[in-house]
């Protein structure tokens, strides 16, 4: 029998040891990778990465499911029709890619690199009364009432220099938050040096035409003005507070592109606390926040009443007919699944349409071929009827018990003409001061018709739903600085100044920059929800 040599025996003995060492190393590396992956996915960055890779949630019903990019295209096909300032403009939502893929750095990043302070407005700019600066925080409590404990003066010691300074009014601060009896809609704008909760580079769902800084707008002061009710203080938006109040609930923005503007503002504010998961489909945008099972929805409805294109009497096929006495069928179908509804409408009544009541043509806008027939109603009256129709249908719906918020007419600020006749808001960089507001007759009558329709509907309530009017029209009449103006696209060759003949550049004086004044709408929405759900 041949025995193995000592040399071969030592090699055989060493081989198992090498295998053991390798196994231990591989096992340790695997454990490390697992732990690192868990930590990454639990971090907000990980959540954002998850959102981008997961796309549309697989739990959505198959018959409504579409790819993420297709959902965006389908939904925004409506928006391309509402840009009243430029019919031929095309816009692409950034919902499917991070904002850094299409947005240049904010102007603020260059300014901060140069260590230049933000401009400070003079004390006479907007706020008529003396203000006292106090400490602010993103996580300020929203649920305090007018009897809350006064703020500790020591907390304001770090801002004493600002308080003493006569150069700007600073942040107004009360010893209270908002009580249920406080009128939210009469007050003034004040300069808040803390600025917005997000930037155009920290919100992946910001539509390009509202990305004013990314589109090259050189000034930033418009981002820092906040609304102060006369009798109390409207707290800064608290995303965690909002999600907790809306736990297990769905909020739906329903209406036109201004509704989209507000919905994206809310998503940008909430994104700072949690990256939502897209569950959109062909019929609506849907964003799901896992931590509280909260859903934010957007449904397109240009007029909130039922449109048709079929011929009626002397109105041929192809011209939009608005059945002013019939609510939008899609709204009625999905309404029972919503807990909070925010409605937006009005601006589409400037577009071509035919008005129908009881299957009879009673008026039209930019269309009335038979001059021998009398036109019974115009677009302003049609708007008032539409508001009463949709709100009445909501308060009579047998299966809806939610909270409906009708946001009042959003003022535009075209000066020297309309959106299609050379109107302009170029060069507006701060709010109008008290006494500078020029009354807009069209805005005023549209607001009046809307409020009348709202009041008529409230008197017809039969279900357990609640309706609230979020009356922003007067306050936002002062914010001519908050629109994109000529900064509605990233085109480096776009015209931003008046020509030699004085003609203004193409611009948007209807929608709102983000971040910007539109974020105040969602501060008000949060306060309305808090009052209803907390009972204060």
d(CA 406, CA 157): 41
Helix, strand counts (H, E) of the chain:
12, 13
Which residue spans within 31-165 are E strands per DSSP?
Answer: none
Q: Quick check: is 173 catalytic?
A: no
Q: Parallel, antiparallel, or unpaired for β 321-327 and 250-255?
A: unpaired
Q: Quick check: is 186 catalytic?
A: no
Domain extents in the chain:
189-534
DSSP 300: E
pLDDT at 47: 39
Catalytic residue among 75, 238, 508, 519: 508
Residue with tokens 């003409």: 417
Binned average pLDDT, 10 residues per bin, the chain of 536 residues: 46 53 67 60 41 37 32 40 37 31 38 43 39 31 31 33 32 44 93 96 95 97 97 96 98 98 98 97 94 98 97 94 98 98 97 96 95 94 98 97 98 89 91 90 97 96 94 97 97 92 92 98 98 81
pLDDT at 370: 86
Phi–psi pair at 107, nearest 5 degrees: -60, -30
- Residue 275 burial (CB < 10 Å; 0-12/13-18/19+)? buried
d(CA 70, CA 67): 5
d(CA 453, CA 404): 14
Q: Quick check: is 511 catalytic?
A: yes
pLDDT at 103: 40
d(CA 465, CA 395): 6
Tokens of 124: 């006479």
Ranges of H-type helices in 362-469:
379-396, 441-458
pLDDT at 282: 86
| Residues found in the chain | 536
Q: Parallel, antiparallel, or unpaired for β 294-300 and 466-470?
A: unpaired
Q: What are the CA-CA distances from residue 35 to residues 28, 42, 138 (Å)?
A: 11, 11, 31
Q: Is 407 left (phi over 0), alpha (psi -120 to 50) or beta?
A: beta
pLDDT at 425: 94
Catalytic residue among 94, 257, 265, 302: 257
DSSP 287: E
Q: Within its chain, how far is the Cα of 416 from the centroid? A: 28
d(CA 356, CA 358): 7
Contact by Cβ (8 Å): 313, 358: no
pLDDT at 366: 95
Ranges of H-type helices in 1-123:
6-42, 44-54, 68-76, 107-113
pLDDT at 283: 86
pTM equals 0.71
Contact by Cβ (8 Å): 244, 292: yes
Short-list 416, 420, 410, CA closest to 428? 416
Phi–psi pair at 151, nearest 5 degrees: -70, 140
pLDDT at 31: 67
Contact by Cβ (8 Å): 234, 488: no
DSSP 377: B
């Amino acid at each position: 029998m041949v025995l193995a040599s000592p040399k071969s025996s030592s090699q055989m003995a060493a081989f198992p040891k090498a295998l053991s060492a390798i196994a231990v190393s591989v096992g340790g590396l695997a454990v490390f990778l697992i732990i690192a992956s868990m930590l990454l996915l639990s971090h907000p960055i990980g959540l954002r990465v998850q959102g981008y890779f997961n796309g549309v949630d697989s739990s959505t019903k198959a018959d409504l499911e579409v790819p993420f990019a297709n959902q965006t295209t389908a939904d925004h096909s409506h928006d391309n029709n509402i840009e009243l300032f430029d019919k031929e403009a095309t816009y692409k939502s950034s919902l499917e890619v991070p904002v850094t893929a299409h947005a240049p750095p904010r102007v603020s990043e260059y300014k901060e690199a140069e260590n230049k302070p933000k401009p400070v407005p003079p004390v006479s700019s907007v706020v008529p009364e003396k203000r006292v600066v106090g400490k602010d925080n993103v996580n300020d409590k929203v649920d305090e009432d007018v009897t809350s404990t006064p703020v500790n003066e020591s907390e304001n010691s770090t801002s004493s220099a600002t308080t003493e300074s006569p150069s700007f009014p600073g942040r107004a601060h009360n010893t209270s938050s908002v009580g249920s009896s406080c009128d939210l809609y009469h007050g003034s704008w004040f300069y808040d040096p803390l600025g917005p909760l997000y930037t155009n580079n920290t919100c992946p769902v910001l539509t390009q035409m509202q990305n004013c800084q990314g589109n090259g707008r050189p000034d930033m002061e418009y981002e820092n003005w906040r609304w102060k009710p006369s009798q109390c203080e409207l707290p800064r938006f608290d995303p965690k507070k909002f999600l907790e109040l809306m736990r297990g609930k769905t909020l739906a923005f329903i209406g036109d592109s201004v509704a989209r503007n507000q919905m994206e503002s809310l998503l940008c504010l909430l994104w700072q606390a949690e990256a939502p998961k897209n569950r959109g489909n062909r019929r609506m945008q849907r964003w799901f926040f896992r931590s509280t099972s909260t859903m934010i929805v957007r449904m397109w409805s240009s007029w909130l009443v039922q449109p048709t294109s079929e011929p009626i009497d002397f109105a041929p096929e192809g011209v939009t007919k608005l059945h002013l006495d019939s609510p939008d069928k899609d709204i009625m179908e999905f309404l029972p699944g919503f807990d909070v509804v925010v409605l937006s409408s009005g601006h589409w009544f400037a577009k071509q349409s035919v008005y129908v009541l009881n299957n009879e043509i009673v008026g039209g806008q930019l269309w009335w071929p038979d001059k021998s027939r009398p036109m019974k109603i115009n677009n302003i009256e049609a708007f008032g009827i539409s508001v009463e129709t949709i709100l009445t249908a909501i308060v009579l719906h047998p299966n809806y018990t939610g909270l409906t918020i009708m946001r009042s007419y959003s003022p535009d600020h075209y000066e020297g003409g309309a959106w299609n006749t050379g109107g302009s808001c170029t060069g507006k960089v701060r709010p109008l001061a008290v006494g500078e507001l020029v009354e807009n007759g069209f805005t005023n009558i549209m607001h009046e018709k809307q409020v009348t329709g709202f009041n008529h509907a409230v008197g017809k309530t039969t279900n357990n739903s609640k309706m609230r009017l979020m009356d922003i029209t007067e306050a936002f009449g002062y914010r001519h600085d908050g629109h994109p103006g000529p900064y509605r696209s990233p085109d480096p060759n776009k015209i931003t100044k008046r020509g030699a003949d004085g003609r203004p550049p193409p611009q948007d004086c209807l929608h709102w920059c983000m971040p910007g004044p539109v974020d105040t709408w969602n501060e008000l929405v949060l306060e309305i929800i808090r009052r209803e759900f907390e009972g204060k």
